[in-house]
Structure 1
Amino acid sequence: MQIVNVKLPISLAEADALKPNDVPAHVEFRNVTKMYGAVAAVRDLSLTVGRGEFVTILGPSGSGKTTALMLLAGFVAPTQGDILIGGNSVAAVPSYRRDQGIVFQSYALFPHLTVGKNLEFPLEMRGIKAAERLPRVNRMLERVHLEDFGDRMPSQLSGGQQQRIALARALIADPPFLLLDEPLGALDRKLREQMQIEMKSLHQEFGITTICVTHDQEEALTLSDRIIVMRAGQIEQTDTPEALYDRPATAFVANFLGEANILDIHDFKVKSTVESQPGTVPMIRPERISIAALTDQKETDAEKRQYVTGRIKEMIYAGPLRKYHVRVGSGVLIVREHVATGQKVFKPGEEVRLDWLRSDVRFVAI
């Protein structure tokens, strides 16, 4: 966790940037570019994170998401542009003077200190007296359900417990904002899901402005008030999780955030309640498609639906879900349905009928 050490001498530029102000705490990037030689890791990035928001920056490797977080943390400096925290430029403020909480994928707990001393460290660095530190440490340990672990060493904790302590250490000094760098990447799936619930609960309780970087789409959808999808150093789209998933602006976002069927590659005319725009292609999510035997009765709202026939290429069983790859003409459609008792299971080679509401078709930019 990065800390402010008020005893060190500071420059006039730093002192001016750290003055208290009346602007609500928020984070802003203004046309920020970060070059590494001839390569732009981030290009002309502009975004604002409101006070108390949980924003996730999502993208594949090389998209610039981690560079954006490192710029905000002060670990690297922008080549061009400005970064503001609480309405003040922090371009002249080094990392160790930015009052922020940071949680890394590796947790970065001090291995030679007990859990309690790990939590006490940021309070001690801020000049808080010992008599005041212990009650705050105990309250925070209780909050993360590890009240009996204060005397243990980090090596004696499980991965999930270390993650909770790392979060507790980042939050204990009430920083104005919290940075999370792939915070759950080192955990197995079940622990990740548990920690997602815990992190969401902590954010709601503390109300701290949080910027998270991840490549995990499910994690982003679960945790975020808003998601920023990055590609090649630039923002591809930003919106709420529901809006991004249901109304992706581009084929890249549609395919990166879940699975998507791009329908223009198939040998049938797509019917939709929305008119297509130049430079767009029709798309539908796999779970919006129904699958049935050719002899099954059609839905009562058949006039609102589109029907096509195909042949099962592959069936994948995944516990609560069953996924079909269905060859339709020269292309393949992905169909995803929840497993239910008495449900018909189709085998490779069987002919089936697929249908979907025309209103579920979306048009995305290529």
Structure 2
Amino acid sequence: MYGAITAVKDLALTVRQGEFLTILGPSGSGKTTALMLLAGFISPSEGDILIGGRSVAAVPSYRRDQGIVFQSYALFPHLTVRRNLEFPLEMRGIKASERANRVDRILKRVHLKDFGGRMPSQLSGGQQQRVALARALIADPPVLLLDEPLGALDRNLREQMQGEIKSLHKEFGITTVCVTHDQEEALTLSDRIVVMRGGVIEQVDTPEALYDRPATLFAANFLGEANLLEETGSDVQAERSRPFGMVAIIRPERLRISTRGAPRSPDADQRQSVIGMVTDTVYAGAQRKYHVQAGTRMLTVREHVASGQQVYSPGDQVRLEWLRSDVRFVTP
């Protein structure tokens, strides 16, 4: 708690050994507080924190033997890359010869073997992030904590570093907890994802299960986009009956768009369709997005751009259709 404000409430979470767990949520959801509790920078007002079966709730951060990577990298600006990497080993009393060997190995592993003599200010953002990761991993900690690790990088470099982090996790096998608000990052890196909202856990599952079978409308919209199928001018049809109190959704990429009078699909008996009008078209490189007014509902359609395909403009009358098996029911 922060004064009268409860940042996280009834947080019960088990992280499996060797897994990559991501805590995902918007600002104010409690995800950063959860990570700070694990790191030991703040103490829980109640409850306990166990690492390897041992309570660490009262153990200060510097005694928890964890690797931590911050969004700001937090490298020592007055030390060379090599000295930045030696520091955590030196604090653990490791001999100079072993420190040198470990630094050489990790610098080679993160593709920085010729950069040991440089200062952090002489490195690019991606290189600094590699040093921060190397420093967190060099002492072989039982737990690695990542706080928005790629938030300061541009998109191309962020995608490159996602691959690097995934590769390092596979190689070292260290139990990793990452905090981010980036959906793509969470989907790419994680074995499981924890979606948080208002200080409580909304849903926990694998990336594929969370995306394909969200439990709530919030989870569906935070991890991707979701179209509500209510009030589209047609009663929702699905493979199973609607549970009480739930609403029907479908992902934008599951919708097929065609002209209003186009021939029906060969599997039309497995599909449902509605008629609508295109209100906006957005070109985004590999994908094109349409906003279509169907009944009183605005639906979003995403389709991969391909040569020769028809492009629809605002005002065009279109038919949207989808497989009934792609409809999901969620708690509003």
- Shorter-chain TM band: over 0.9
Q: Identity across aligned pairs (percent)?
A: 73
Give a deviation string over 1:195-215, Cα, whole Å, max 9, x none: 000000000000000000000
Question: Take 1:270 and 1:342, find their aligned partners in 2: how far apart are those partners?
Answer: 32
In structure 2, the partner of 1:319 is 285
Q: What amino acid maps onto 1:212 in structure 2?
A: C
* Contact 2:43 2:58 (C-alpha < 8 Å) held by counterparts: no
| 1:169 Cα offset (Å) | 0.3
In structure 2, the partner of 1:244 is 210
In structure 2, the partner of 1:144 is 110
Give a deviation string over 1:297-346, Cα, whole Å, max 9, x none: 11111000001111100000000000000011122110000001111100
Which of 252, 263, 275 in structure 2 is aligned with 1:286?
252
Residue 237 of structure 2 aligns to a residue whose secondary structure is: coil
Give a deviation string over 1:102-146, Cα, whole Å, max 9, x none: 000000000000001101111111111111111110110000011
Question: Take 1:141 and 1:297, find their aligned partners in 2: how far apart are those partners?
Answer: 60
Question: Take 2:324 and 2:198, find their aligned partners in 1: how far apart are those partners?
Answer: 33
Q: Identify the structure with the greater strand proportion.
A: 1
Question: Take 1:281 and 1:61, find their aligned partners in 2: how far apart are those partners?
Answer: 26
Q: Does 1:277 align with 2:266?
A: no
Q: Does 1:190 align with 2:156?
A: yes
Residue 82 of structure 1 aligns to a residue whose secondary structure is: coil
Q: What amino acid maps onto 1:305 in structure 2?
A: R
Q: What amino acid maps onto 1:95 in structure 2?
A: S
In structure 1, the partner of 2:187 is 221
Residue 42 of structure 1 aligns to a residue whose secondary structure is: coil
Residue 162 of structure 1 aligns to a residue whose secondary structure is: helix
| 1:264 Cα offset (Å) | 1.5
State the TM-score, normalizing by the size of structure 2.
0.99
In structure 2, the partner of 1:104 is 70
* Contact 2:231 2:295 (C-alpha < 8 Å) held by counterparts: no
Alignment of 1:56-67 (within 5 A): 56-67=22-33
Alignment of 1:59-78 (within 5 A): 59-78=25-44
Which of 37, 45, 48 in structure 1 is aligned with 2:3?
37
Q: What amino acid maps onto 1:114 in structure 2?
A: T
Say how many residue pairs are matched: 332
Which of 301, 326, 329 in structure 2 is aligned with 1:360?
326
Q: What amino acid maps onto 2:301 in structure 1?
A: V
Structure 2 unmatched ranges of 5 or more: none
Question: Take 1:96 and 1:114, find their aligned partners in 2: how far apart are those partners?
Answer: 22
Which of 76, 92, 100 in structure 2 is aligned with 1:126?
92
Q: Does 1:263 align with 2:218?
A: no
Give a deviation string over 1:265-312, Cα, whole Å, max 9, x none: 433211111111112100000000000112321111100000111110
Residue 40 of structure 1 aligns to a residue whose secondary structure is: coil
Question: Take 1:330 and 1:282, find their aligned partners in 2: how far apart are those partners?
Answer: 15
Q: What amino acid maps onto 1:339 in structure 2?
A: V
Residue 79 of structure 2 aligns to a residue whose secondary structure is: coil
Question: Take 2:312 and 2:58, find their aligned partners in 1: how far apart are those partners?
Answer: 63
State the TM-score, normalizing by the size of structure 1.
0.90
Q: Deviation above 3 Å: which 4+ runs of structure 1?
A: none
Q: What amino acid maps onto 2:190 in structure 1?
A: S
Q: What amino acid maps onto 1:302 in structure 2?
A: A
In structure 2, the partner of 1:230 is 196
Q: What amino acid maps onto 2:30 in structure 1?
A: G
Question: Take 1:163 and 1:219, find their aligned partners in 2: how far apart are those partners?
Answer: 15
